[in-house]
Amino acid sequence: MRKILCLLFAVGTVASPAVGAESFPETCARLAAAAQRENRLAVAGRDGWLFLASELRHIGVGPFWGEFAAAASRAPRPEQADPLPVIVDFQKQLAQLGIELILVPVPPKALIYPDKLVETASPAATAETELARFYDLLRAQDVAVLDLAPRFLAERAAGEPAPLYCRQDSHWSGRACIVAAKAIAAAIADRPWLAASERKEVELTEAEIELQGDLWASLPEPRPERERIPVRRVQADQQPVAPDRASPVLLLGDSHVLAFHAGGDMQTAGAGLADQLAAELGFPVDVLGVRGSGATPARISLMRRARAESGYLADKKLVVWCFGAREFTEATGWSPVPFSVP
């Protein structure tokens, strides 16, 4: 018992605020500020759930675009704080090349499982957020946004077969990758180029893996047992489906793109979003994921690849840009990247 109490004290316990005392975003802001003062990566919730402190800060920071951007963002340069014009610029650059963009931000864990952070919080109470307002602003400027939050909340309400986020890691789960892939596939089901794409047979197998979560690893000893989660592996000829540079679909983003796909520190291979997209679309996708920020570094990587490989973008029809929604405020900066190739 003494060890357990020491562990909870070290990572930060969550006291349920009195009803009406503060809003859920205010609770997130308070917990994030406490974690920052104590130099903690993780905030301990309920039932063994851990939350990324910077993601809680993002939830609590309020509006983060336009006049609010400089105060809300962690970007050291105020002129790089606003994600709105940069995302619109990216969409326009792709459109000039005949490439469609779909923005797929990964909802913050605490907005889908608020009751795992604070006992009195309800998922229904977190449905309307600043993120939803921001996505409407993007749509008004012709940026297609796939907001996964309503789908994730519906999965919870229906009694999802496995959690949509890892309890001990800052990433979504293998189950979430399947839900997201199905949503993306449904969003583009009527595209003419999709019907013309050559199909590849895949095999689907269920497995259970043990995680070494990044939030779990940040805890002091003694740590709890490692989390185990189910994943769906996508294979061809008993091997993970390899990304295809010639695919009409490019999956671009941060480590959410690599989780359960890249192996190694990304937990396993063949079960991430790229793999589930291959299963849903019927062909492999191209993948460009970075372990850092999915905001500017990911687009710089795309620019470099396009300039290094002649004709790389010629056959691309769709870019799925996927990263943690916290990047809107927690990235080190949002800068335009002129990746177009003359």
- Could you report the per-residue pLDDT of 206-245, keeping only the tens digit for each? 999 999 999 999 999 999 999 999 999 999 988 999 999 9
For residue 171, being part of any structural domain is answered with: yes
Sign of CA dihedral 97, 136, 134, 162: negative
Report yes or no on 14 lying in a domain. yes
Structure confidence at residue 122 as a pLDDT band (50, 70, 90): confident
Residue 299 belongs to a domain: yes
Alpha helices by DSSP H, listed for 124-254, are 130-140, 149-157, 174-187, 192-196, 214-217
Position 198 in a domain:
yes
Residue 340 lies in a domain: no
- The count of structural domains within the chain is 1
For residue 4, the model assigns a pLDDT of 37
Position 51 in a domain: yes
What's the domain range around 243? Answer: 2-330
Q: Is residue 335 part of a domain?
A: no
Tokens at 68, concatenated:
């609010």
Q: Considering the chain, what percentage of its residues have pLDDT values greater than 90?
A: 86
Residue 174 has pLDDT above 70, yes or no: yes
336 in a domain, yes or no? no
- Average pLDDT estimate for 173-193: 97
